[in-house]
Amino acid sequence: MGRKSRVVIAVTFAALALGAVAAYGYDQSRKHLIADGVEASGVALGGLDQAQATRLLRKKVVDPQKRPLKVRVGKEEFVLPAKDLRVRADVDGTVEQALEASREGSLPERVFRYVTGSAPNRDLTVEVSWSKPAVNQFVRDVAAETNRDPVDATVAPGPDSLTVVDEENGLKLRDRLLDRGLKSTLASGSARRTIVARTRVLKPEVTRGEVTSSYPTYITISKASYTLTLWKDLEATVSYPVAVGSAEYPTPNGLFSIQSMQVDPPWNVPNSDWAGDLAGTTIPGGSPENPLVARWMGVSGSVGIHGTSSTSSLGSSASHGCIRMSPTDVIALYDQVDVGTPVYIG
C-alpha cells in the first residue's frame, strides 16, 4: 500500500471518528428532550424536557379534570365538588415513558431521525384516577332529588262536597345512563364538565277520566248542617237529616270507611258511667232498649251510622258519637252502600 493510500485511509478513519463523536455528542445533547411525534393524551410533547412536559400535561390534562362535575335535570343543577372527586394522575410516569420512547433505537437510528426530522409517532395516555364511590354516591343523590312517584287522580272530600284532584306524572332518573356518562367523561379526560341527565316519565294508574269508577259510592257527613249525603259516581244523589255527637261525646272528624254492616244489630253497651245499669251488657237487636234501630254501619271503632227511635234528635248534636238516622232513611242508605264505602265526616 502506497503512502497516498495510507493517508486517505487515515483521513477517512479520522473523519468517521469525528462524525461518530459528533453524532454521540448531538445524541447526548438531546437525551433530556422528548422527540417530535411523541404525544400523551393528545398533547404534543416534542422538543420539551421533563419539567416542561410535566407542567404542560398537568395544565392540559389534569387541571381540567380538577373541576366540579355538574348534572342538569330539567331546570335543576347538581354539583359534585372537585375535592370529592380526588383526581389523581400519573404525569411523572407518562413523561418517563415519553423520554424512553424518544430514546428507542440505536444511535445511528436516532441520529437519522434527528437529521431527517422523522418521528417515532407514539401516543401515550396519562392514567387519571378518581373516586368511583364519590361518583356512585353523587348519582344516588341526584336520583333521590329527582325521582318522584306518580300520583293517581283522587277525590278531595269536604263535609258536603267532593272535588276531583288531577293526577300527576312521576319522574325516574335514568341513573345507570348517568353513571356511565359521568365515568366516561372522567375516563376520557374531557374538559366538558356538565352532563344533561335523561329521565323517564312515570304515568299514574288512575287519571281524572278514570277516577269516577274508583269511587262509585261515597258518603259525606256535615256536622254543621246535620246532613248525610250519598254520592253515586261523584254526583250527589240524596241527602238525609242526621244527629251527631254531643259536645261531650263528639263525632270524630276525618276520612273513614264503612267497616261492618248489620241488620238489627245487638248493642254492646260501653262500660261507661253514662250507661248506668246497662254498662258492659249486650242488648239484642230489635229490643226496645236497643238504641241501634234497624241497621248498623260501623265507621270507626264504636262509632257508626244507625237508625234511631228518637227521631226528634235529628238535626242536633245529641248522640254519644254515632250518626243517627230515621229508621226509614237508614234502611234506604244501607241498601245502597257496601263495606269499604268511603265516609268523610267534617
Locate cell 372537585: which residue?
A: 82
Is the distance from CB of 294 to CB of 327 less than 8 angstroms? Answer: yes
CA distances from 242 to 225, 305, 344 (A): 9, 9, 14
* Residues 6+ away with beta carbon under 8 Å from 46: 34, 35, 36, 37, 38, 119
Q: Roughly how many angstroms between the first and final C-alpha of the chain, as a whole number?
A: 132
Active centre residues (catalytic): 306, 322
* Residues 6+ away with beta carbon under 8 Å from 100: none
Q: DSSP string covering 213-240, please?
A: HH-SEEEEEETTTTEEEEEETTEEEEEE
- Distance, CA of 39 to CA of 121 (rounded, Å): 8
- Distance, CA of 275 to CA of 291 (rounded, Å): 12
Is the distance from CB of 314 to CB of 262 less than 8 angstroms? Answer: no
